[in-house]
Amino acid sequence: MIDKLEKLLDKVRLNRGDFIDVRWEQGEGLATTIQNSRPEQITFQAEEGVGIRALINGGWGFVSVIGSKEHKIEKGIEMAMKIAAATAKKTKEKGVIPEEYVFEGSHKMKFREDPRDISIEEKYAVIENFERVTREYSEKIVATNATFREWFQTEIVVNSLGTRVSNEYSNINLSCMATSREGDNMQNVYTAKGTTNGWEEIRKYHTTEKGEELAKRAVELLKAQKPPSGRMNVVMDQSLVGVFVHEMIGHFEEADAVLAHDSLFEGKLGQQIGTKSINLYDDPTISGLRGSYHFDSEGTPTTKRELIKNGVLVGYLHSLETAAKMNVPPNGAGRAMSFNYRPIVRMGNTYLGTGDLSFEELLERIKDGLYLQYSYGGYVDTAKGEFYFSAQGGYLVRKGELLAPIQNVSLTGHCLEVLQKTIGVGNDLAYAFPGSCGKQSQWVPIHAGGPSLAVRDLIVGGQ
């Protein structure tokens, strides 16, 4: 395939500064769900297609083609060039690609235990147990949903500068949701395991234990207090810290947002933006996490990115184009959801560096406030810096000790204020948030985490 794509590109005549890349992707996967003891679905999904990007006279054009027939790709290249040339006439800021970064390489999936060798029946049995244990824990559990998903894909990127990269990628995900109900009081909790490693990770994940834990949480939340409202000190668990660093810091680090005047971090490189205890990284090279990959969708090898060092903003996440515009090397953050989308700047595995405080010491730091656990997700307005995210539950904290459990709760504030109000970083780093991140209608797998974190004066919203 790589030679076929290269031959097609060789036929194209480009002027200096013009650029084309052709990205072939073939993927397939299985998803299976059990809901309230009923087999919901077993689904097989397959896709194959080519995404063609052209930069002509500084204008960008993109065309996607289903399948891999030569004449269709050729026609797609022609159309992408035509669209790009038309766009160039209307655009004010010319697009650019750095000519000095040309990559060759390949990565093949390797597993200790290949999930494709595991029978569908065995995969089904895993979620059957997960769902059953969760449902049978208590009569108060009224709804359960256990899902297993796997995806395997090959992406080949060839561009007019000479890049030739073949990259295989996979992920598997196991999750369970439980809803408890007493009259109009309903509580919903969720847990998930996401990895790019093989089936051995699922064997290590004890669904019986995890299902019981999940159901117990759902039932206990029925009796928990409604959360208080207003400004208060908070300790967040590693899952919440994951969402916190992804939403509240990570999205500001995306250089396309910075260049579009849509990031609060614009113009702040080298500045102290948080307390000295804040260190932030994005590292897709960590083995086995959901946001791990070797080459991005532009063919750039990825690397560990240091973003904040001792509270100072030291770097951004880059695609080829943003790197060229900021005159720095690209760092492999140009990701596309599938062949049907253009690569844009995305995170991989984002995490806060570890600190030296124990959990008890963090509670001591906040004295009175809340300990919040298990993320429900969140979002940020990157231009304003205002964020929102929520926890599935937690505890009131009084005099540095956990008091009574509380129900789900939301938080808001301003990103920079929070970075400056961090009063303690725990020593219990965990990559506790496997998730998916949405941007410009593209969803990509990510992982996030960090140690438990104490922050003062967050705005907490009750019911």
- Helical pair 2-10 and 70-90, crossing angle rounded to 10 deg: 50
Q: Does 19 bind other proteins (CB under 8 A)?
A: no
Q: Does 90 bind other proteins (CB under 8 A)?
A: yes
The distance of closest approach from Cβ of residue 142 to other proteins in the complex, given in angstroms and rounded to an integer, is 4
Interaction with other proteins in 330-349: which residues (CB under 8 A)? 340-342
Q: Does 64 bind other proteins (CB under 8 A)?
A: yes
Q: Which two tokens stand for residue 69?
A: 């027939």
Q: Does 383 bind other proteins (CB under 8 A)?
A: yes
**Residues touching other proteins: how many (CB under 8 A)?**
79
The distance of closest approach from Cβ of residue 434 to other proteins in the complex, given in angstroms and rounded to an integer, is 17
CA–CA separation, 383 and 385 (whole Å): 6
CA–CA separation, 234 and 371 (whole Å): 6
Interaction with other proteins in 100-159: which residues (CB under 8 A)? 120-121, 124, 142-143
Q: Of 23, 88, 78, nearest to 52 (Cα)?
A: 23
Q: Does 376 bind other proteins (CB under 8 A)?
A: yes
Tell me how far CA of residue 52 lies from CA of 64, 153, 166, 382, in angstroms. 6, 18, 16, 29
How many C-alpha atoms does 446 have within 13 Å on its Cβ side? 32
Span from 258-266, 276-284, 290-298, 329-337 in contact with other proteins (CB under 8 A): 258-266
Q: Which two tokens stand for residue 166?
A: 């073949």
CA–CA separation, 114 and 414 (whole Å): 44
Judged by beta carbon, residue 12 or residue 416, the one nearer other proteins is: 416
Of 21, 49, 134, 150, the one binding other proteins (CB under 8 A) is 49
Q: Does 386 bind other proteins (CB under 8 A)?
A: yes
For residue 424, the one-letter residue type is G
- Rounded to the nearest 5°, which phi and psi values hold at 256? -65, -35
CA–CA separation, 307 and 280 (whole Å): 5
The distance of closest approach from Cβ of residue 379 to other proteins in the complex, given in angstroms and rounded to an integer, is 8
The distance of closest approach from Cβ of residue 291 to other proteins in the complex, given in angstroms and rounded to an integer, is 22
Of 111, 388, 430, 436, the one binding other proteins (CB under 8 A) is 388
Of 63, 280, 333, 448, the one binding other proteins (CB under 8 A) is 63
The distance of closest approach from Cβ of residue 412 to other proteins in the complex, given in angstroms and rounded to an integer, is 5
Binding track, positions 273-312, relative to other proteins; x by CB under 8 A: ----------------------------------------
Judged by beta carbon, residue 82 or residue 309, the one nearer other proteins is: 82
- Helical pair 207-223 and 120-136, crossing angle rounded to 10 deg: 30
Cα 95 from chain centroid?
26
Of 162, 267, 438, 462, the one binding other proteins (CB under 8 A) is 462
Q: Does 432 bind other proteins (CB under 8 A)?
A: no
- Rounded to the nearest 5°, which phi and psi values hold at 97? -130, 135
Q: Does 46 bind other proteins (CB under 8 A)?
A: yes
Distance in Å from the first CA to the final CA of the chain: 56
Q: Does 261 bind other proteins (CB under 8 A)?
A: yes
The bridge status of strand 38-56 relative to strand 19-35 is antiparallel
Q: Does 78 bind other proteins (CB under 8 A)?
A: no
Q: Does 36 bind other proteins (CB under 8 A)?
A: yes
